[in-house]
């Protein structure tokens, strides 16, 4: 999520509420970790799902969620990752 020094706190509250009230309640959700940048210019949400299909089901439901317009103002850029190594 893109933020500024002025918007980062509000964005964190919005994302936390979304995760607690909706995302974390979806089948296949394991955990989420929010990271705020030291420069206040971004937030990263790392969500762990049981499977890609669980995430895709959630993503379909999320398109109709009433909090989506508020979250979109922070220009989220979702991306899929796979584990490339553990140390």
pTM listed for this prediction? 0.88
Percent of the chain with pLDDT over 90: 91
- How confident is the model at residue 14, as a pLDDT? 97
Split at pLDDT 50, 70, 90, the class of 79 is confident
CA–CA distances in Å: residue 52 to residues 16, 48, 56, 66: 22, 10, 6, 23
Split at pLDDT 50, 70, 90, the class of 10 is very high
Q: Which residue, among 46, 27, 19, has the nearest Cα to 35 in the 3D structure?
A: 46
């Amino acid at each position: 999520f893109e933020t500024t020094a002025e918007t980062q706190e509000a964005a964190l509250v919005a994302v936390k509420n979304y995760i607690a009230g909706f995302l974390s309640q979806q089948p296949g959700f394991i955990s989420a970790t929010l990271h705020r940048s030291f420069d206040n210019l971004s937030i990263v949400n790392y969500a762990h799902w049981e499977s890609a299909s669980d995430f895709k089901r959630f993503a379909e439901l999320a398109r109709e969620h009433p909090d989506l317009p508020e979250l979109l103002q922070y220009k989220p850029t979702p991306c899929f990752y796979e584990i490339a190594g553990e140390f």
